[in-house]
Structure 1
Amino acid sequence: MTTAPAIELRTFTTLDAVRGDLLDVYADVRAPLLHLPNYAVTAFGERLDRHGGETGFMAVLAYDDGHPVGYVYGNTIEHGDRYWQRTAPAPEDEYTKGPAMALKEIGVRPAWRGTGTARRIHDALLAGRAEPYVTLMVNPAAGDGKVHALYRSWGYEDIGQSQPSPASPVLAVMIRATR
């Protein structure tokens, strides 16, 4: 890993001010997959709009010289949320009985990968959260398994699988304590 560049981290609690930057970075991050229906920019925009209106929405973006280079966002999920309902096997009550942070997306432009930028924005997102747990879904095949392994190195553990939509691959559901 190389040294992290001098980036500025900005936190947002509403989508309006940051939607364009999120779409811009997403298109670059997911460029090889944009031809697949679930990864199309329009599909991401629809998910983003839905997530941006959910309780506890928060995004952290990394900027290099005023240009967005990475992002992470998520929101609060409660007991009974469809996130948990789609997870099989059903997660332990310890994880679902109270609110949790659902990390919905994280991405870093190719030129900033391997610099620690993803970890910095991830940790900045969690720094101000009150939820005891953070959960995410990852395609186990992403990066030939490297993305899944990266999340494990950050302390996440597998607790099940989910297929959020018919166009989505089957994803690994992972969780860890926020602190």
Structure 2
Amino acid sequence: MTTVPATELRTFTDLDLIRGHLIDVYAEIRAPLLHLPNYAVTAFGERLDRHGAEPGFTAVLAYADGHPVGYAYGNRIEHGDRYWQRTAPEPAEEYTSHPAVALKEIGVREAWRKTGTARRMHDAFLAAREEPHVTLMVNPAAGDGKVHRLYQSWGYQDIGQSQPSPASPVLTVMLRAAR
């Protein structure tokens, strides 16, 4: 078994400082899907720029030997946000009547999968948040359902479905308490 170097987590609120690192890691981990319009690096870059300009943007990157090996990022969403408007059925008002945090992306290079790196980034991302709930969207087919089951093991529950764009697959919307 190959051992991987330990990771250091760093938190950022300025996308300009890390945009290149996020795109590099994304391109590697999504390589098998990059031919699909929704997963193309250019599409990711456009989403990333939009998310980075939204209120409460925060990213946690994992570094090993100074190189980025994973990331988690998201931002605050308010009542009436398009995130909630695209979710069906309409989420309960207890979740949407106050700000929540949306975990928009999380990814880890293959060598660091199953090492706890994703969970450490996730937990570090939430540690600095004040919102009571965290939500995310997952492709239920990702990893033959393994990714969805992983999020369930972290305490997330399915609350609906969303198709963020015509090129996107239908995603499962999940939610849990932020702490």
Q: Which whole-Å CA distance do the structure 2 matches of 1:163 and 1:74 have between them?
A: 18
The equivalent residue for 1:164 is 164
Structure 1, residues 118-174: CA drift from partner, whole Å, max 9, x if none?
000000000010000000000000000000000000000000000000000000000
The equivalent residue for 1:41 is 41
Q: Which whole-Å CA distance do the structure 1 matches of 2:58 and 2:4 have between them?
A: 23
| Counterpart contact for 1:4–1:117, Cα < 8 Å | no
Amino acid in the other structure paired with 1:72? A
Note the residue ranges of structure 2 that are not aligned, 5 or more in a row.
none
Q: CA shift at 1:4, angstroms?
A: 7.8
Amino acid in the other structure paired with 1:83? Y
| Counterpart contact for 1:4–1:116, Cα < 8 Å | no
SS at match of 2:35: coil
Q: Which whole-Å CA distance do the structure 1 matches of 2:5 and 2:127 have between them?
A: 20
| Counterpart contact for 1:133–1:177, Cα < 8 Å | yes
The equivalent residue for 2:103 is 103
Amino acid in the other structure paired with 1:22? L
Q: Which whole-Å CA distance do the structure 2 matches of 1:51 and 1:68 have between them?
A: 20
- Equivalenced residue count is 178
Amino acid in the other structure paired with 1:17? L
- The two structures, once aligned, show a CA RMSD in angstroms of 1.2
Amino acid in the other structure paired with 1:86? R
| Counterpart contact for 2:62–2:69, Cα < 8 Å | yes
Q: Which whole-Å CA distance do the structure 2 matches of 1:42 and 1:170 have between them?
A: 20
The equivalent residue for 1:136 is 136
SS at match of 2:15: coil
Q: Which whole-Å CA distance do the structure 1 matches of 2:38 and 2:57 have between them?
A: 22
SS at match of 1:47: helix
Q: CA shift at 1:3, angstroms?
A: 8.4
Identity across the alignment (%): 81
- Provide TM-score, normalisation by structure 2: 0.98
Note the residue ranges of structure 1 that are not aligned, 5 or more in a row.
none
SS at match of 1:16: helix
Q: Which whole-Å CA distance do the structure 2 matches of 1:129 and 1:80 have between them?
A: 20
SS at match of 2:87: coil
Q: CA shift at 1:5, angstroms?
A: 4.5
SS at match of 1:160: strand
Q: CA shift at 1:6, angstroms?
A: 1.5
- Provide TM-score, normalisation by structure 1: 0.98
The equivalent residue for 2:23 is 23
| Counterpart contact for 1:58–1:74, Cα < 8 Å | yes
| Counterpart contact for 2:55–2:76, Cα < 8 Å | yes
